[in-house]
Amino acid sequence: MVESVLKMLALKELDSEYCTKLVGFGTDGASANIAGLGLKGLIEKQLPWIYWMWCLAHRLELSVKYVLKNSSFDLIDDMLMKLYYLYEKSPKKCGQLEDIVSGLRGCFTVDSSGVRPILEQVVLDGLLTNGMQ
């Protein structure tokens, strides 16, 4: 993995122009990334001046999850995780989901107040004509 990162950043040679300009590297807090023998440690051996930090987006996600712990967010997070695993490795299910989404495209309006469904009958007609019975 270290070789891939260094290759991607074109840092194979320590005297390269990129090497002197790189000052920081952000990852999540997984031990494979932050341990002495992990990504951080191996990169620091080749680039001792490098500053390592946690990815800001990842830290923000963890902070929001912590603040919303034991709330309805837990149910939403669990539902989204289950949906992800349902569609993750199934091209057939992904195709079916795309069919459903394309069938629903004309069923919603978007304006300054947000997304709103069109009248129920129009929605039902759209679903039935697109074979979503």
- Kindly report the pTM of this predicted structure: 0.45
pLDDT tens for residues 65-114? 899 999 988 899 899 999 888 888 888 988 888 888 887 777 776 666 66
Provide, rounded to the nearest whole percent, the portion of the chain with pLDDT above 90.
9
Q: Is 87 exposed, middle or buried (0-12, 13-18, 19+ CB in 10 A)?
A: middle
CA 31 to each of CA 34, 117, 132: distance values in angstroms, whole numbers, following the listed order = 5, 46, 46
Do residues 55 and 28 make contact, with C-beta atoms less than 8 angstroms apart? Answer: yes
Do residues 93 and 87 make contact, with C-beta atoms less than 8 angstroms apart? Answer: yes
Q: Count the neighbouring beta carbons within 10 Å of the beta carbon of residue 92.
A: 8
The two structure tokens encoding residue 27: 């990852």
